[in-house]
Structures are given as C-alpha cells and as structure tokens.
Amino acid sequence: MKTVISQSIKVKLSGYLSLIQGAIFLISILWYVILLMPIGVELRALSVDQLALITEHKGMLQLFYGIAYVLFALLLVGLNIAICKVDNTSIMNNIALIMGSIWSGFLLGCGLLVIASFEYIAMPHSDNSIKLNLLMFVSVIVEAIGGGNELVGGIWVASISISLKKACHIGSSQCLLGLAIGVIGIMTVVPSLGELGALFGIGMIVWFAALGVTQLKSREGAYA
C-alpha cells in the first residue's frame, strides 16, 4: 500500500512539474519576444550601447534568466528524478537520467553566470573594455551550452519519450512528438540551423503540456 501511494505521488508530481516547465518555456519565449527584442538586448551584440541597455534593464534581465534558466534547471532535476527509474537497466531510461542531469547543470550554470555578470556590467566605474570582454566570454558560454544549441535537451526529450513509450506511460503520437522535437534540438548544434531553437522551444511547450496532462490523468503509479 505504501509503495502504491509513493508511486502515485511520483506520477502526480511529474505531471505538475511538466506543466510548470511548459509554462516556464512559454513565459520565457513571450518575455523575450515582447520585452527583450523591442529594446534590443542581445548578449552577442558587443557594444557600449549594449552595456548601457544591460545596465538600464538589469533587474528585468536578471529576473528573466532567473526564471528561464535557474528555476527551469532546478525543477528539471525534480522532474528527471520523478520520471526516470534510478535502478532501471533500460538504456533509454539511463540516457535520459544522465542527459537530464547534464542539461540541468548547463542551464543552472549559465543562468547564474549571466546574472552575476550583469552585476559587474552595471557597476558605474568599471572599464568598458573589461565589461565587453566579460560579455563576450558569457555570450560564448551561453551559446555553447545554455541556449545557442539544444543538443543535450534534444537527446533528453528523445530518450525520455522512448523510455516512457516502452513502459506504456505515453502513447505513440506523444512519443513521435518527443522524437521530432529531439531531432530538431540535435540539429541546432549546426550553427546555420541555430534558428531551429525557437521551434524546439515551441515543441517543448506542447510536449511538457501533453506529458503533464497524461501524468495527472494516470490512475495508478507508474514509477517505482
């Protein structure tokens, strides 16, 4: 009885976390399009004007990265643990467990790095050349592991979709959706295909929402 209750809690927890993750993805995309794009904030734009924009909108930018990166990464840890069986011998399950942990670490590190760098950039008496070098360094890191490509996230969503389908916890259509999103994410590792990251984000919103609904509708525990 205790095991059944524990399993049920895990399934419900994964459902709620999935919905929250999807909401964070949606809020982040809308925030970027509605608030950040119009004012021209872009980490890759290495100019004194960009430093001024970051200084002026520091609080909003730090909140954005705090939600889109730090909060998402922390909740992803919980979701990954709730979905993946630690003692499972399935290859896809173990790949998902590892990739989810790596993805969380990358996003958490990038988010904290950007937030801290904005504090230095906003300091009034610091040398602009040093600030620009810092911004370039942060931009390269974020582009490489935090948002410029979705390689790790793509592998995670593809592997977890296969694992959940093999365990009969999601249907074929949802598994195919996860695989398609995963392939799109993996393709963004090619610099010329980086714009596919937006499509990956939209796909993840749908995938997280679908997984959340599926888990919350589940009447019996799925994970030991």
DSSP readout, 167-222? TTSS-HHHHHHHHHHHHHHHHTTSGGGTTHHHHHHHHHHHHHHHHHHHHHH--S--
What is the rounded CA–CA span in Å between residue 43 and residue 111? 13
Residues whose CB is less than 8 angstroms from the CB of residue 215 and which lie 6 or more positions away in sequence, other chains included: 11, 12, 14, 15, 18, 169, 222
143 found inside a domain: yes
Q: How many residues does the chain have?
A: 224
pLDDT at 2: 46
134 found inside a domain: yes
Residue numbers in the chain where pLDDT is lower than 70: 1-7, 85-89, 219-224
Helix (H, G, I), strand (E, B) or coil at 87: coil
What is the rounded CA–CA span in Å between residue 8 and residue 133? 50
pLDDT tens digits, one per residue of 91-142: 888 999 999 999 999 999 999 999 999 999 998 877 899 999 999 999 999 9
pLDDT at 219: 53
61 found inside a domain: yes
224 found inside a domain: no
pLDDT at 88: 61
pLDDT at 191: 86
What is the rounded CA–CA span in Å between residue 97 and residue 80? 6
Q: Which domain holds residue 16?
A: 2-217
44 found inside a domain: yes
207 found inside a domain: yes
222 found inside a domain: no
DSSP assignment string, 66-83: IIIIIIHHHHHHHHHHHH
- As a whole number of Å, the end-to-end CA separation of the chain is 13
Number of domains into which the chain is organized: 1
For residues 145, 194, 77, 209, the Cα torsion angle rounded to the nearest 10 degrees is 170
Residue type, 219: R
Q: What is the pTM of this model?
A: 0.90
